[in-house]
Amino acid sequence: DFPTQIGDASGKDDTYVGRIREDISHNCGINMWIVADNVRKGAATNSVQIAELLAKDHLS
């Protein structure tokens, strides 16, 4: 299963990440499915939070 905008994110401030996979086009890349309610959560805030989590969990 993977998160959906209507079923999971609508009306919430959270961002949901699913279907995380290795990016076959880049040796250090990843692909992921990300959904959020963009009216409640601005795109800039979302991007910063994702970058912070990736840096904390994968670049340390």
pTM: 0.60
Task: Decide: 30 and 20 in contact? Cβ < 8 Å.
Answer: yes
CA angle 48, 50, 55 (to 5 degrees): 95
Note the pLDDT tens digit of each residue in 38-60.
Answer: 888 777 777 888 889 999 988 76
Task: Decide: 32 and 54 in contact? Cβ < 8 Å.
Answer: no
- Which residue type does 59 have? L
Asked if the model's pLDDT at residue 8 lies above 70, the reply is yes
d(CA 38, CA 29): 25
